[in-house]
Amino acid sequence: MPEQKADVRAAGRRLLHRGAQGVSRVRRSVSRRPRVLLYLGILGPGVIAASAGNDAGGIATFASVGADQGYKLLWILIPLTFSLGIVQEMCARMGAVTGKGLSDLVRERFGLRWTAFVMIALLIANAGVTVSEFVGIAAATELLGVARYVSVPIAAVAIWWLVVKGSYKRVERVFLVMSLVFVAYVVSAFLAHPPWGTVAREIIHPHLELTSTYLFTLVAVIGTTISPYMQVFIQSSVVEKGVRAENYRLTRADVWIGTVFAILIVFFIVVSTAATLNVQGEHVETAAQAAQALKPLAGVYAELLFAIGLFGASMLAAGVLPLATAYSISEALGFEKGVSSSFREAPIFLGIFTFLVALGALIAMMPGLPLIRVLLVTQVINGVLLPVVLIATLRLVNNRELMGAHVNGPLYNIVAWLTTIVVSGLSLLLILTTVFPHLFSR
């Protein structure tokens, strides 16, 4: 009898455990926490966030840098490495210490006006990036012989359906693998046999030209490398993964590894396009021209390889970015949110998501749209609005009541504030050289 009672108790414990697991699964499926970038299950948040700049806008920007400027802008990659790493690390640290996302902290610590200002800046910046992703879809499919008027509406409807109906995670890894095609630029850079001596000199030889073209390109590089949505993403992803201050050390390493990896990819994109396009005096105005930098590796299949990578990267971000934006703004302003909600239950959340997807698709289908130019302009918008997010982040991370002993050290503050001031100054110079070009032509 004692043995039977023990068996009954053990069986009861097993049933309770299974029941608890079932309840947990149901709760997880109902709550459906946002996956700001859905390939977190493969890589760490630091690697993903830093690499996120290598989407449609990023590839177009870096290819244009190499084609138009040659190796002259390689010097910017050194300060960008430190700026990107420090900015990303600050947000990751805030997520680990507070257990809250950036939007949550902005709402709690700042007044409604400042919160609305930051969220509007984020909405504008992210709307621009969303447009660039659909432009990337259009450019990729046109390389494959499919007109944008066919591919873009289908992609927009598919993305909306996949995300809202909750099956986007089933195809996310396919898009991720497709976007990894851009690692081919590393091999292509070596096969193009660039003048490595010139490359080395330009890396350590900073110079600034007060022309609208040069400043436009410079701000675009900064905007696509340190995008505002990346700060929101990394902090949310650290919170989502349950990282805490006591086990944050590995996440810090992940941030810096991701930063170095992302900048290296940028370096090889610029070198390969400079070695193949700049030497021939070609400019990147179409996706087909950007694909030519892969010819040393892929030959006649360069356009196909480029199209596959561009399509995968664009589809991945076109689904995730509007969703992340809708979550961030709804969270900050206290609106109901969740992809499992109806329009009646969460009108602001689903309205923002639908608006961004529709806006991106409509602009990408405009006849005669210069696709590469649009990609560059959206990255400039990112760069101009970046200081708004950086100032909010710096105010939060230096708040001792919030961060305790984990506030920024002097070195971090110097680099972060310098980044904010320099980006603001470059944005102002860009505006001045565009509006008053005659003042800078002497």
**How confident is the prediction along the chain (442 residues), in pLDDT tens digits per residue?**
444 444 444 444 443 344 444 434 433 433 344 444 444 443 566 666 655 667 788 888 899 999 989 999 999 999 999 999 999 999 999 999 999 989 889 989 988 888 888 999 999 998 998 999 999 999 999 999 999 999 999 999 999 998 887 666 667 667 767 777 888 899 999 999 999 999 999 999 988 888 888 888 889 899 888 888 888 888 887 887 888 988 898 889 888 988 898 899 899 999 999 999 998 888 888 888 888 899 998 888 999 999 998 998 888 888 888 888 888 898 888 888 877 778 888 899 999 999 999 999 999 999 888 888 888 888 888 888 899 999 999 999 999 999 999 999 999 999 999 999 999 988 888 877 777 766 655 4
Measured CA to CA, the distance from residue 230 to residue 89 in angstroms comes to 11
Residue that has been written with the tokens 């410079």 in this structure: 218
Contact 66, 270 (CB under 8 A): yes
Q: Which amino acid is at 229?
A: Y
pLDDT at residue 43, rounded to an integer: 52
Q: Tokens representing 274?
A: 């400079």
pLDDT at 21: 45
Contact 330, 353 (CB under 8 A): no
Q: Nearest to residue 282, comparing CAs of 269, 273, 294?
A: 273
- Neighbour-count burial for 279-295, b at 16+ CB within 10 Å, e otherwise: eeeeebeebebbbbbbb
Distant-in-sequence contacts of 154-162, Cβ < 8 A, 24+ apart: 155/315, 155/318, 155/361, 156/357, 156/358, 156/360, 156/361, 159/315, 159/318, 159/319, 159/357, 160/353, 160/354, 160/357, 162/319
The answer to whether 135 and 276 are in contact (CB under 8 A) is no
Instruction: Give the chain's largest Cα–Cα span.
Output: 101
pTM equals: 0.81
| Predicted pLDDT of residue 97 | 95
**Going from the N-terminus, what domains does the chain have, and what CATH number goes with each?**
36-440 (1.20.1740.10)
The answer for residues whose C-beta is within 8 angstroms of residue 133's C-beta and 6 or more apart is: 55, 56, 57, 314, 315, 317, 318, 321, 360
> Which one, of 50, 74, 58, lies nearest residue 290 by Cα?
58
pLDDT at 429: 84
